[in-house]
Amino acid sequence: VARSPRGESDPVVRKITDEAGAIYQRIQRKAKPQMKLPIRSLSNVKYRPKAGYFQLSGRHKIRTLTVNTVKTFAQTLKMMALSKELIEANDMATKREAYYISKNWGKAGFSEQPESDTIMDDVEAMFGVNREQLKFVPEEKGGDIAGNLVVIDTDSKGRKLRIDCTKFGSGAYSIPSEVENLQFQSKAKFILAIETAGMFQRLVKYDYWEKNNCILISMGGVPTRACRRFIRRLSDKLKVPVYAFVDGDPYGYFNIYRTLKVGSGRAAHLNEFFCVPKTSFLGVTPQDIKDYKLPTHPLKEVDIKRAKDALKNDPFVIHHKRWQAAINQMLKMGVRVEQQAFAKHGLDFVVKEYLPAKLKNTDKFLP
């Protein structure tokens, strides 16, 4: 693989070499080697309404080399070294490949990929960069797109490619893992971010995007970073509203919607780039269950715990009284609902009745 002409001038390489140099200097002074990392949890973030997303509060942890931490310390250094090698070689590795590369690290190798992912996230947070800058890319699918949008990409030979998202028939354009260099052209009036692939396919089948001049995005559950960054860049470029349409349960509200809108505690160092603050919540709300007499499922213990934890500890929920009211309403009702529940009233009900009614009152959407 060709060596990058940037080499040592790359800012991430400089961060890595500076950190390694500081550790070496401590060893020279016969001091214990250590690293300083931000604490990646919801307890270490604050919701900044003006910024529109979670930001780190500033608390850190110190990873010191001891008998008990020697393996984790070594793994962190090896992950830093691997990133430096990839950048200098102008190469990349998937998260899975990085895990397998560690099998060459002797006793510092990872037993399972979640261990590798955690160390990768630590390195990312320590340097305040994203894993793509470290040259690690995810393998998960970014999401699907249909509607009034032309994506302008570049192939391996530098040629511009125009991808018309209206031309995929019953299929869709898949969001790539790297979206930073994409360009967009669109006259859509809004973006609809949808939790489930099933609901996305339903709307595509009924030509919803064409009849309503919008862009449909299937998040496929919790949106990947690529999906969130894609939506964020679309939002910034097109200056149109983004509406979220997810299941009416705590997982949909917090793990999916809240992560899309303001980010997460574990990746707060990156929320500035990977959240979409202008998103508002279309549904499904607890009130929708009553208004549309939807079939429901009882809340599970994990749902109740997640909801109560959000009321007590989630900075976003604590800031928004309307969200507190909605969560308390859900807890009082003791039920959750899926997007597909609208099928009770007919397969086209969500297209012909629910979405049109909701979109007439966007000012009433939850923040």
Smallest CA-to-CA distance from 44 within 263, 323, 226, 261 is with 263
Q: Could you read off the pLDDT of 172-229 as tens digits, one per residue?
A: 999 988 888 899 999 999 999 999 999 999 999 999 999 999 999 999 899 998 899 9
Residue 108 dihedral angles phi and psi, to the nearest 5°: -85, -5
All domains of the chain, ordered by start, with CATH?
Answer: 7-137 (1.10.10.10), 144-364 (3.40.1360.10)
How many CB atoms are closer than 10 A to CB 280?
A: 16
Q: Tell me the sheet residues that pair with 216.
A: 146, 192
Place of tokens 């489930």: 196
Angle at CA of residue 144, ends 270 and 116, nearest 5°: 45
Residue 99 has pLDDT above 80, yes or no: yes
d(CA 265, CA 259): 9
The pLDDT value recorded for residue 265 is 78
Let me know if 173 is a catalytic residue. no
* Phi-psi group of 143: left, alpha or beta (phi > 0 → left; psi -120 to 50 → alpha; rest → beta): left
336: tokens are: 């959750």
Q: Could you read off the pLDDT of 44-98 as tens digits, one per residue?
A: 888 888 888 888 887 888 888 888 889 999 999 999 999 999 999 989 999 999 9
| Continuous H helices in 213-281 | 225-238, 250, 259-262, 271-274
DSSP 3-state assignment of 131? coil
Q: Is the pTM of this model over 0.75?
A: yes
The pLDDT value recorded for residue 7 is 55
The average confidence (pLDDT) of the chain is 91
Of the residues 47, 99, 100, 251, only one is catalytic, namely 100
1 close to 89: Cβ distance less than 8 angstroms = yes
- Give percent of the chain with pLDDT exceeding 90: 73
CB-count exposure of residue 366 (10 Å: 0-12, 13-18, 19+) = middle
Smallest CA-to-CA distance from 210 within 282, 280, 149 is with 149
d(CA 248, CA 282): 11
